[in-house]
Structure 1
């Protein structure tokens, strides 16, 4: 006789709905509808498989009610996104980054490192221009520096921010799991604040231009000393959906990437597309960021800004510029994107400490999202060579 385990059908339905929203296919669970309807319970083996597939803790299926999951940091996303429960992909990514931050902060404390001078160095009453100048100086970033490609430009930005003592992680996946992709419509980045090891995470599922803006938006959160999860405001009509903190961080990021002094004295927007494209390429930002900066500097009335912005937003959506992430440009070398997924400075510290006996290899593997000695050694060799 087949032994089955009694589960809460409501939790099974909740897990199935969340998996479907994340494009996780459940076709192989032939009796899933019966489990949801309470007509049949799964076997323990089937339940283990289902829990693993849907990324839901096994114990949840025995709860009396559907669990309420909350973000561990402030939710600064736009209003319509804040109204939905966070995905397991987002929650797991925050948990992984938090564990890495805790490890790195303790590691730096052992070395006697000084606190980061950027954390909490400004307040929301600081003028965005002043904060942008302080951030640019702290990270050594020069706006508009020539780069062969947008990916090269983003790489230089990440390396500049890391050199200032901020942990930076850019990933389109949960860890290294190619079956669990992050959704840039759910969030674009988040910040975890720590005096020794502040951390910013950038959703690599977005365009390179959008990632650049998110990077410095999150650095602005570090400067404020305020952690949280962020998303784009979308069109100008959605600006009111954002908290004051988010609007301030957007203003700072825009000024870091497109300083007022570098905007040409004359900008012809009679035919917006070529002008915006040229300025976007110069500053390595999206044309929408260029438009916002022109409006910030009084070059456009609100009505004209909104008109051009909505048309440009539709144009960008039509040409499908999204979903071009590092995984598709790595040339088949898995070690190419790995340093950006976990952070180059952090990875080097974990590898060095494991080799010196300070960290168990099994813990080092988990921190670097790997499972094998071969992958660990290959990643270490890649870092040493680059």
Structure 2
């Protein structure tokens, strides 16, 4: 069996965001004679070579392919694209390993899909990727995107729920050749990434561009995030987006998404917004609800119009977030009592119809193995057939 460089073991653990104690516990190392951290230390110092069985455990716990452990040296840090986020101090270090794993996974999926499209002669470069610049007016960019999408604001608002409204935009986006995924964790609630860490991710490739929307966010915010990331695709700028908008590019993408979902002219209805705080929040809530947008988007618009200042904007968004978190906790309790929906239906919704369909066709035509299909869809190979057949 090939030798394993102990530096790889240390690198894999650290990039998974695990201390030696936590890793040893997850790997179920140690016993009466020697503690788990001491056992792991022996392997990481090169005193003893790990068995294949242990390497398989490490691959699972550290979220790395088995072959990674046979590299001669730790690889160079993976590329995330640009980082458009502004995070509180310490948050980046705390969340980086999980976020890196999520982004790594998206890059792998995109490469596999692109390969399928190339093999099936469907790899048409999308000419809208990178077709606008920050120098162009927001209203012009918004019109260009709406026209290419064939987006109808009235149709968006006619949907019964905000999730149906999101599905409408998602469907139009996927028809263009952009894959839209809902991902906010590495598969368990322990690995969930809050919207403080990231809201969305755009992989602006000419062939098979990908958009990730953090599904840990409120559903009413998904449409805005999707359009924000779509603006990144139009700019040709791969990268991560956060909740803030300090960078010029984030303001630009926010303003495009805002103009599409909530045209400036409609904000005049709130021109004389007044009364006590309860009345103001009630007016904002009713205004947002009728338009299938979040209250956070409305107050962002009010901030841009200088009807409120940055301090008031922050107070409103904090209050809206607390309200949503309380509502989400209540719904989780109700869902636990009632039982959840079918696993495959949920999974299909998260990966999107476009990704499921391209994978289904590739399997049927023999262009992809069940293992690679599982990697694309984020499921085990044994679950692929059930997923591509889910209604």
TM-score band by shorter chain is: 0.7 to 0.9
Q: Which residue of 1 aligns with 2:263?
A: 259
Alignment TM-score, normalising by the size of structure 2: 0.77
Shift of 1:65: 10
Shift of 1:124: 0.5
Supply the distance in 2 between the matched residues of 1:160 and 1:59 (Cα, whole angstroms): 39
Q: Which residue of 2 aligns with 1:118?
A: 128
Supply the distance in 2 between the matched residues of 1:96 and 1:116 (Cα, whole angstroms): 23
CA contact (8 A) 2:116 2:368 kept: no
Q: Which runs of 5+ in 1 are unaligned?
A: 234-238
CA contact (8 A) 2:139 2:256 kept: yes
Query: Secondary structure at the residue paired with 1:84?
Result: helix
Which residue, out of 109, 113, 121, partners 1:104?
113
Supply the distance in 1 between the matched residues of 2:122 and 2:70 (Cα, whole angstroms): 46
Q: Which residue of 1 aligns with 2:287?
A: 279
* Pair 1:127 & 2:137 matched: yes
CA contact (8 A) 1:172 1:204 kept: yes
* Pair 1:87 & 2:96 matched: yes
Number of residue pairs aligned between Structure 1 and Structure 2: 365
Q: Which runs of 5+ in 2 are unaligned?
A: none
Let me know the Cα RMSD of the aligned residues.
3.9
- After superposition, residues 50-199 of structure 1 pair within 5 angstroms as 50=58, 52-55=60-63, 69-80=77-88, 83-84=92-93, 87-109=96-118, 110-112=120-122, 114-143=124-153, 145-174=157-186, 177-178=187-188, 181-184=191-194, 185-199=196-210
Query: Secondary structure at the residue paired with 2:220?
Result: helix
Shift of 1:337: 2.2
CA contact (8 A) 1:188 1:231 kept: yes
Which residue, out of 202, 208, 218, partners 2:213?
202
CA contact (8 A) 1:69 1:85 kept: no
CA contact (8 A) 1:335 1:379 kept: yes
Supply the distance in 2 between the matched residues of 1:26 and 1:169 (Cα, whole angstroms): 29
| 158-167 or 217-226, larger mean C-alpha shift | 158-167
Gap change, CA 1:363 and 1:61, over 3 Å in 2: closer
Alignment TM-score, normalising by the size of structure 1: 0.78
| 25-34 or 92-101, larger mean C-alpha shift | 25-34
- After superposition, residues 232-381 of structure 1 pair within 5 angstroms as 232-233=243-244, 239=245, 242-266=246-270, 267-270=272-275, 271-298=279-306, 300-302=307-309, 306-317=311-322, 320=325, 321=327, 331-373=340-382, 375-381=383-389
